[in-house]
Structure 1
Amino acid sequence: MARIKLEEISTRAPEHLKKEIVKEETATIVAKLNELQNLLYAEGKHSILVILQGMDASGKDGLIRNVFGKMNPQGVTVHSFKVPTAEELGHDFLWRVHKQAPARGMIQLFNRSHYEDILITRVHNLCDKDTAVKRMRAINDFEWLLTEHNDTVILKFYLHISEKEQAERLQERLDNPAKQWKYNEGDLKEAKFWPEYRKMYEDCFEECNKVPWTIVPADQNWYKEFIVAQKLYEVLSGLKMRYPGLKK
Structure 2
Amino acid sequence: MEKFRLEDYKITKPIKLSDYATEIDWDWDDDKKEEELDKLRNKLSEWQDVMYAHNRYGVLIGLQGMDTSGKDSLIREVFKEFNPRGVVVHSFKTPNSTELEHDYLWRHYLALPEKGKFAVFNRTHYENLLVTRVHPEYILNENLPGIEKVEDITPQFWENRFEQITNFEKHIAQNGTIVLKFFFYMSKEEQRKRLLKRLEQTEHQWKFSAGDLKERECWDDYMKYYEEILNRTSNETAPWFVIPSDDKEMARYLVARIMWEELQKFPVKEPELTEKDKANFELYKQQLG
TM-score, scaled to structure 1: 0.94
Number of equivalences: 246
Output the CA distance in 1 between the equivalents of 2:223 and 2:42: 35
Output the CA distance in 1 between the equivalents of 2:108 and 2:268: 27
2:181 is the alignment partner of 1:190: no
In structure 2, the partner of 1:107 is 118
1:62-211 pair list within 5 angstroms: 62-126=73-137, 128=153, 129-149=155-175, 151-210=176-235, 211=238
Query: Any idea what the Cα deviations from partners look like across 1:10-41, whole Å, max 9, x if unmatched?
Result: 0001x343234333211111111111111111
| Greater C-alpha Rg | 2
Output the CA distance in 1 between the equivalents of 2:34 and 2:77: 11
C-alpha contact (below 8 Å) 1:26/1:226 kept by paired residues? yes
In structure 1, the partner of 2:243 is 216
Alpha-carbon offset, residue 241 of structure 1: 2.3
Output the CA distance in 2 between the equivalents of 1:42 and 1:237: 16
C-alpha contact (below 8 Å) 1:26/1:225 kept by paired residues? yes
- The code of the aligned residue for 1:6 comes to L
Query: Any idea what the Cα deviations from partners look like across 1:152-204, whole Å, max 9, x if unmatched?
Result: 11000000000010011111111112212211110111011000000111111
Alpha-carbon offset, residue 242 of structure 1: 2.1
CA RMSD of aligned residues (A): 1.6
Output the CA distance in 2 between the equivalents of 1:141 and 1:34: 30
C-alpha contact (below 8 Å) 1:3/1:202 kept by paired residues? no
Output the CA distance in 1 between the equivalents of 2:27 and 2:118: 30
In structure 1, the partner of 2:271 is 244
C-alpha contact (below 8 Å) 2:78/2:256 kept by paired residues? yes
Q: Which runs of 5+ in 2 are unaligned?
A: 1-11, 140-152, 278-289
1:224-235 pair list within 5 angstroms: 224-235=251-262
Alpha-carbon offset, residue 2 of structure 1: 5.0
- The code of the aligned residue for 1:236 comes to L
Of 127-136 and 15-24, more deviation after overlay is shown by 15-24
Of 23, 43, 47, 2:34 maps to 23
Output the CA distance in 2 between the equivalents of 1:38 and 1:179: 35
In structure 2, the partner of 1:57 is 68
TM-score, scaled to structure 2: 0.81
2:51 is the alignment partner of 1:40: yes
Output the CA distance in 2 between the equivalents of 1:141 and 1:17: 42
Identity of aligned residues (%): 39
- The code of the aligned residue for 1:136 comes to F
C-alpha contact (below 8 Å) 1:162/1:219 kept by paired residues? yes
- The code of the aligned residue for 1:12 comes to E
Alpha-carbon offset, residue 230 of structure 1: 0.5
Residue 178 of structure 1 aligns to a residue in which SS? helix
Output the CA distance in 2 between the equivalents of 1:2 and 1:236: 21
Q: Which runs of 5+ in 1 are unaligned?
A: none
Alpha-carbon offset, residue 239 of structure 1: 2.5
